[in-house]
């Protein structure tokens, strides 16, 4: 790296002190008009910019917020990041993105790295492994260090920090309620393994809606998909049972799309013989045939809310009195349901 121009160099050039240059560039009245103009001209010519690191060190703030997410090649997470970036930028902050790749070790490392002074606060969605292991020491450490933290989507209740979550229970409830109202009798649920909270919550909403309609909850039509195994094979089981369900709620878009594609292969008509609703996180639902009705999650909003909560904490330095923002998902009806 070619040495960038600094106050010191400008000072030497004009044979004045560093403070003089600093003040001249800030248009301080303490400095003579002509000297000021000459210094400014010189600085502009050499494209002088105050070194950000020096400022960060001096001001004890970086105007950077760290984001740690399980993955980025994922419509939901990238949408959230988009929202974070948008709000942060408007407030003069930059965003540093780190990926845990669903690994606990990587998450710990990322958080440790970011809380070494390079960010003012963190926005995190937990990795799968972390939730599986139930191991949150790294968060306690950063909180003890005084770093503000905002958790979103995949959160852990016991942590004392602001949170932004989707009303997953409500979203699933809405979907199931809708299906039942449209005449569905037997609704299968494609959900995740137990340790994924969002899966649990959506299951909760599913069950709540069933109870509300006095429909029995049947464990055998609740499928807990294991993401590490073959998805299609597991989902196909829904279609192989006697007394096949007439509707499916899938806790994500991929499961829903697979279900749709299997239905298609088996010549089952959607939505006439089978209704499908997924939780949307991407573009897939729009382009399947028929397009999938789904519960939309407002990722961008989640991002802006998380950023707002974090930046508030950073700027007010307020401790305690933590909030949990709940974003309500909406039902987007397309053609995989009888509307």
Does residue 20 bind DNA (CB under 7 A)?
Answer: yes
Q: Name the minimum Å distance from CB 113 to a second copy.
A: 7
Q: Name the minimum Å distance from CB 136 to a second copy.
A: 15
Q: Give the whole-angstrom CA distance, residue 181 versus residue 214.
A: 12
Q: Name the minimum Å distance from CB 112 to a second copy.
A: 7
User: Is 80:306 a contact under the CB 8 Å cutoff?
Assistant: yes
- Identify what 113 binds: a second copy, DNA, none; CB under 5 to 8 Å per kind: a second copy
Kindly indicate which of the ranges 19-27, 151-159, 179-187, 313-321 contains the residues binding DNA, using the contact rule CB under 7 A: 19-27
- Identify what 81 binds: a second copy, DNA, none; CB under 5 to 8 Å per kind: a second copy
Alpha-helical regions (H) of the chain? 7-14, 18-25, 33-45, 52-59, 75-90, 104-114, 128-133, 137-144, 168-181, 197-212, 231-240, 253-265, 284-287, 299-316
Q: Name the minimum Å distance from CB 60 to a second copy.
A: 7
Q: Binding to DNA (CB under 7 A): which residues in 47-76?
A: 48-51, 53-55, 57-58, 60
The residue ranges of DSSP E strands in 36-120, in sequence order, are 64-69, 94-99
Which stretch of DSSP H or E encloses residue 165?
A: strand 162-166
Using the minimum distance from each CB to DNA, give the nearer residue, 48 or 206. 48
Using the minimum distance from each CB to a second copy, give the nearer residue, 4 or 12. 4
Q: Give the whole-angstrom CA distance, residue 323 versus residue 161.
A: 7
Does residue 114 bind DNA (CB under 7 A)?
Answer: no
Does residue 328 bind DNA (CB under 7 A)?
Answer: no
Does residue 250 bind DNA (CB under 7 A)?
Answer: no
Using the minimum distance from each CB to a second copy, give the nearer residue, 2 or 220. 2
Q: Give the whole-angstrom CA distance, residue 144 versus residue 223.
A: 40
Span between the terminal Cα atoms of the chain, in Å: 62
Using only C-alpha atoms, what is the Rg of the chain?
A: 26
Query: What residue ranges bind a second copy (CB under 8 A)?
Result: 1-4, 47, 49-54, 56-57, 60-62, 64, 71-75, 78-79, 81-82, 85, 94-99, 112-118, 120, 141, 144-147, 254, 257, 260-261, 264, 282-284, 286-289, 314, 317
Kindly indicate which of the ranges 31-39, 164-172, 220-228, 235-243 contains the residues binding DNA, using the contact rule CB under 7 A: 31-39
- Identify what 183 binds: a second copy, DNA, none; CB under 5 to 8 Å per kind: none
33-45 and 7-14 helices, crossing angle to 10°: 130
Q: How many CB atoms lie within 10 A of CB 242?
A: 4
Q: Give the whole-angstrom CA distance, residue 200 versus residue 299.
A: 19
Q: How many CB atoms lie within 10 A of CB 116?
A: 8
In the complex, the residues that contact DNA under the rule CB under 7 A are 3-4, 6-8, 15-20, 22-23, 25-26, 29-33, 35-36, 48-51, 53-55, 57-58, 60
């Amino acid at each position: 790296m070619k040495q960038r121009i600094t106050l010191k160099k400008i000072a030497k050039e004009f044979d004045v002190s560093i403070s003089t240059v600093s003040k001249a560039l800030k248009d301080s009245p303490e400095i003579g008009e002509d000297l000021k103009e000459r210094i400014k001209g010189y600085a502009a010519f050499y494209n002088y910019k105050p070194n950000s690191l020096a400022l960060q060190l001096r001001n004890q703030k970086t105007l950077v917020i760290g984001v740690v997410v399980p993955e980025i090649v994922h419509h939901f997470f990238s949408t959230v990041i988009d929202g974070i970036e948008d709000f942060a930028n408007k407030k003069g902050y930059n965003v540093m993105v780190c990926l845990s790749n669903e690994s606990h070790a990587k998450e710990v490392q990322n958080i440790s790295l970011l809380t070494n002074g390079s960010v003012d606060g963190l926005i995190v969605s937990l990795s799968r492994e972390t939730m599986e292991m139930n191991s949150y020491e790294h968060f306690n450490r950063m909180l003890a260090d005084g770093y503000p933290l905002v958790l979103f989507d995949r959160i852990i209740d016991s942590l004392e920090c602001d949170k932004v979550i989707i009303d997953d229970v409500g979203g699933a409830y809405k979907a199931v309620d809708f299906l039942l109202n449209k005449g569905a009798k037997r609704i299968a649920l494609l959900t995740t393994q137990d340790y994924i909270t969002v899966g649990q919550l959506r299951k909760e909403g599913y069950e709540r809606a069933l109870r509300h309609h006095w429909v029995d909850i049947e464990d055998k039509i609740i499928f807990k998909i294991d993401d590490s195994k073959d998805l299609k094979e597991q989902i196909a089981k829904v279609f192989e049972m006697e007394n096949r369900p007439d509707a499916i709620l899938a806790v994500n878009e991929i499961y829903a799309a697979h279900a749709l594609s299997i239905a298609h292969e088996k010549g089952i008509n959607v939505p006439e013989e089978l209704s499908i609703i997924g939780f949307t996180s991407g573009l897939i639902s729009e382009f399947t045939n028929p397009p999938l009705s789904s519960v939309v999650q407002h990722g961008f909003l989640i991002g802006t809310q998380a950023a707002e909560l974090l930046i508030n904490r950073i700027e007010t330095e307020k401790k305690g009195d933590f909030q949990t923002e709940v974003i309500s998902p909406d039902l987007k009806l397309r053609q995989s349901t009888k509307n």
